[in-house]
Amino acid sequence: MTAVAARTDWRGELALITGGAGFIATNVADRLLRQGARVRLFDNLSRAGVEQNVRWLKAQHGDRVEVVVGDVRDDVAVRDAVRRVSRIFHFAAQVAVTTSLVDPIGDFEINARGTLNLLEALRAMDDRPSLLFTSTNKVYGDLDDLALAALGSRYAPRERTIAQQGIGEDRPLDFHSPYGCSKGAAEQYVLDYARTFQLPATVFRMSCIYGPHQFGTEDQGWVAHFAIQAIKRRPLTLYGDGLQVRDVLFVEDLVDAMLLAHDRIDRTAGEAFNIGGGPRNAVSLLELLDLLADVTGRPPSFDIEPWRAADQRYYVSDVRKFAAATGWRPRVSVREGVQRLVEWLGGVGHAATAPLAVGKVAS
């Protein structure tokens, strides 16, 4: 199937992006702004480093970027933020499984209650904007019933259809970790508000997204974290054996999918879609280290630690449902995407440039 391009003219639209200073938000905002929309960024700036993204967007696009420093736990602020918008991208979240294990209530308040605040604000509106919510593959649990074989540098499913197509949306939900529970609860509210209150809302269950503007840490954003460590010649820790496999998706392809989801909301509302790079863009941790060694000329060194809670040995998205609904498919290969990420990070010669000032994910 040939890929269908997302709409390219968003003039006349005002988009609200919660978590608007974050990695994915910055890429969505930049695209929308370049295509004529105005954008309202709503963020409490709790993630270290993200103010840089806001400064960058303002520098690129000036006063078509409105910045609201606010918290999704504050229902009054959320009600204000949705005024006059035509599209909503709800990204604000506590994003790390590790943090959710330390502070499950904080994680719930932001991810589940914060989403409910937004849904209630939308339910009260006469003219309701379309909504995209970003859920996670963690709603399918650790998938430890998948029969896997260790083949060379990666795990491979023994079942041929899963090896060829990935994990589909028909997979039973099995929330693991407080983060899995809070995101899972939130996405179920989104789907139910679409059903019960006819909100034009859709859910992406996303795999690993990577690309420019990502402040990856050990806790979240592993591709960027590995790239940063490789460039800075710092050692990495692999949890497990490094054979675990993920389908990675370059953020530009994700932005295409997100704009298509809004543009075709008549087809996507009330549905959950698995979104990732799919089987063609599946890579193990060890394979990514090899690729980084090739791209940066610096083989990263690493230690091995025991598996972490709720770590999946294999997760690859079956993206055919969204492809059938919209014509989308990922276009950027892992090699090209990693090269572009490394370039953005400052490349081999500029290891100490500003984007590398990474910190812990705040809860």
Active site residues: 179
Of residues 37-56, those binding ligand NAD (CB under 6 A): 43-47, 50
Q: Which residues contact 207 (CB under 8 A, 6 or more apart)?
A: 137, 246, 247, 248, 249, 274, 275, 276, 277, 315, 316, 317
Q: Is 256 in the site for ligand NAD (CB under 6 A)?
A: no
Q: Please state the closest distance from residue 219 (CB atom) to ligand NAD, in A.
A: 10
Reduce the DSSP state of residue 1 to 3 states and report it. coil
Helix residue ranges per DSSP H, 15-171: 23-34, 51-61, 75-81, 97-102, 104-108, 114-123, 160-165
Q: Is 312 in the site for ligand NAD (CB under 6 A)?
A: no
Binder to ligand NAD among 33, 39, 88, 95 (CB under 6 A)? Answer: 95
Q: Is 86 in the site for ligand NAD (CB under 6 A)?
A: no
Binder to ligand NAD among 28, 37, 85, 91 (CB under 6 A)? Answer: 91
Reduce the DSSP state of residue 244 to 3 states and report it. coil
Query: For ligand NAD, which is the closer residue by CB, 136 or 312?
Result: 136
Query: For ligand NAD, which is the closer residue by CB, 19 or 270?
Result: 19
Q: Please state the closest distance from residue 125 (CB atom) to ligand NAD, in A.
A: 20
From residue 120 to residue 159, the character string flagging contacts with ligand NAD as x (rule: CB under 6 A) and all else as - is: --------------x-x-----------------------
Beta-bridge partner residues of 89 = 17, 132
Spatial distance between the Cα atoms of 76 and 347, rounded to a whole number of angstroms: 43
Q: Please state the closest distance from residue 182 (CB atom) to ligand NAD, in A.
A: 10
Are 231 and 296 in contact by the 8 Å Cβ rule? The answer is yes
Number of residues that bind ligand NAD (CB under 6 A): 28
Are 36 and 11 in contact by the 8 Å Cβ rule? The answer is yes
Spatial distance between the Cα atoms of 34 and 29, rounded to a whole number of angstroms: 8
Q: Is 281 in the site for ligand NAD (CB under 6 A)?
A: no
Are 363 and 93 in contact by the 8 Å Cβ rule? The answer is no
Binder to ligand NAD among 58, 64, 73, 79 (CB under 6 A)? Answer: 73
How far from each other are the two terminal CA atoms of the chain, in whole angstroms? 41
By the criterion CB under 6 A, which residues form the site for ligand NAD?
19, 21-25, 43-47, 50, 71-73, 91-95, 110, 114, 134, 136, 206, 208-209, 221
